[in-house]
Amino acid sequence: MKVYVEPTGRRISPFNDPVGETPIGNRPLSYWQDKAIADAGLERIDALEPPCLVIPDTLFTTGGALKKFVEGADGRDAVFVLADSRHGRDSAHVQPGVERIETGWRFSLIRWVAAGHAPVDVVVDPDEKTMDLPMRNQYLGTDTLELAFPRDPVITLHHWIHILSANQVLGSVEMRNTPVWKFAGKLLWAVIRAVSLNKWKVLGKLNTIGKNCDIHPTAVLEGATLGDNVTVGAFARVLFSRLDDGVVVMPGAQVELCTVGANATVSEAVVIRFCVLYPEAVVSQYLMQQCVLGMRSVTTGGAFSIDLNFDQDIRVKLDGELHSSGTRFLGSAFGHRCRVGTGFWMASGRIVPNDYFLIRHPDLVLSKLPPGLAEQNPLAVDGRTLLPLGQPALKDETVSSDTDPSATD
């Protein structure tokens, strides 16, 4: 059976790379498409020649999902429908060509083309398992958070939130598609090496570590995958994350459920969760969650990406229109080579285009400290100048531009 990968021309903002280069698990989307095609036993063709399967070049899925669809089509003209599921409710947002119907979500660009007849819907089950986690109601308006672990996810990548979704679901794909005997053997070997049934000690033995890695003896690795030449500093923690070759995790940093590209750096005492870092990105923001950082981008300490909306789902833009992201918990995307200075705050769900340089407004940065203010507390910054709160700004010639409070102009 044949499959044609249909070009869409989609480039995901703000990065604007060909969609096939989008990183998922530190490999391009095109790699995962080729793998799914091979696993489904399909032959890729260069032009649409019915009868054949047609998929968009934005598609991230598995060979299992493609195989189930082809078998369900049974030679008829058909369109793919992702069965109603937690996975669908989490990931189907902001995907053009995806329509909510009674049985799930219809993906109009995934189809079996045969004789030109009206297509039938073929519903494909993502074969998910779910887990409920307790949640403080005041955060997301619910007492439990239901997590989905699909064996056969289906996502078309159009927006940077789909980069997050695909990277986060990849671990589920690998876990669910690992044979039970193999997973049980690996777990047993971890228990033996841990000499304990303590879950944390066992988890610490479930790591995959590449060559020439420099891991401090006080660092904690739990279910992590490290490439070659990775450095993990003192008292750092890496949890269920993928670190590509040459990544540096500095002392005290925490990397949780993230994908980190080659030669990227997580600075000292920084915490990142549910993030994707392109190669050579540097994150120094003290806490970053649900964000994507482009290649060679830099965020500094004291910058913050707001990641929570208490009242309603965060909205994001695609092709000039606002759409619900389906979540109240979402950070921002920073394009390639962005630089974000100290003290800059970013609203949730926003994008920073490639090559932007963001800094805190100079009028909010203290640079002029007049003498003789010790008895006039409290003091505040007004137009770069330290003044008694409520007092009009002084003329430039009356204050010092030096940081020494005893200096005069």
Q: Per the structure block, which two tokens stand in for 379?
A: 């003091």
pLDDT at residue 147 in the model: 87
Is residue 334 situated within a structural domain? Answer: yes
pLDDT in tens, 69-106: 999 999 999 999 999 999 999 999 999 999 999 999 99
Is residue 173 situated within a structural domain? Answer: no
Say yes or no: 352 and 394 in one domain.
no
Say yes or no: 339 and 368 in one domain.
no
Q: How many domains does the chain have?
A: 3
pLDDT in tens, 5-46: 999 999 999 999 999 999 999 999 999 999 999 999 999 999
Q: Is the pLDDT higher at 302 or at 335?
A: 335
Is residue 407 situated within a structural domain? Answer: no
Instruction: State the burial class of residue 2 (Cβ atoms within 10 Å of its Cβ: 0-12, 13-18, 19+).
Output: middle
pLDDT at residue 400 in the model: 40
Say yes or no: 232 and 113 in one domain.
no
Q: Beta strands of 162-275 (E only): which ranges?
A: 208-209, 214-215, 220-222, 225-226, 231-232, 237-239, 242-243, 248-249, 254-256, 259-260, 265-266, 271-273
Say yes or no: 291 and 340 in one domain.
yes
Q: Per the structure block, which two tokens stand in for 253?
A: 């940093």
Is residue 170 situated within a structural domain? Answer: no
Say yes or no: 42 and 144 in one domain.
yes
Mean pLDDT of 139-167: 91
Give me the residue label for tokens 């450095």. 231
Is residue 166 situated within a structural domain? Answer: no
Is residue 103 situated within a structural domain? Answer: yes
How many residues does this entry show for the chain? 409
Is residue 164 situated within a structural domain? Answer: no
Give me the residue label for tokens 């519903």. 123
Say yes or no: 238 and 101 in one domain.
no
Predicted confidence band at 404 (pLDDT cuts at 50, 70, 90)? very low
Which domain CATH number covers 255?
Answer: 2.160.10
Predicted confidence band at 395 (pLDDT cuts at 50, 70, 90)? low
Residue 153, pLDDT above cutoff 80:
yes
Mean per-residue pLDDT over the chain, rounded: 91
Which domain CATH number covers 119?
Answer: 3.90.550
pLDDT at residue 182 in the model: 85
Mean pLDDT of 378-399: 73
Say yes or no: 249 and 297 in one domain.
yes
Peptide bond into 378 cis (omega under 30): yes
Mean pLDDT of 362-374: 87
Domain membership of residue 380 as a residue range: 363-398
Say yes or no: 144 and 200 in one domain.
no
Residue 398, pLDDT above cutoff 50:
no
Predicted confidence band at 408 (pLDDT cuts at 50, 70, 90)? very low
Say yes or no: 154 and 193 in one domain.
no
Residue 409, pLDDT above cutoff 60:
no
Say yes or no: 120 and 245 in one domain.
no
Say yes or no: 69 and 192 in one domain.
no
pLDDT at residue 393 in the model: 62
pLDDT at residue 406 in the model: 37
Query: Kind of pairing, strands 304-305 and 345-346?
Result: parallel
pLDDT in tens, 274-288: 999 999 999 998 899
Contacting residues for 197 by C-beta, under 8 A, at least 6 apart:
191
Predicted confidence band at 405 (pLDDT cuts at 50, 70, 90)? very low
* 114, 157 Cβ separation under 8 angstroms: no
Is residue 169 situated within a structural domain? Answer: no
Q: Could you give the C-alpha distances from 228 to 50, 190, 224, 318, 377, in angstroms and in order?
A: 45, 22, 13, 37, 55
Say yes or no: 369 and 345 in one domain.
no
Predicted confidence band at 47 (pLDDT cuts at 50, 70, 90)? very high
Q: Per the structure block, which two tokens stand in for 384?
A: 């770069």
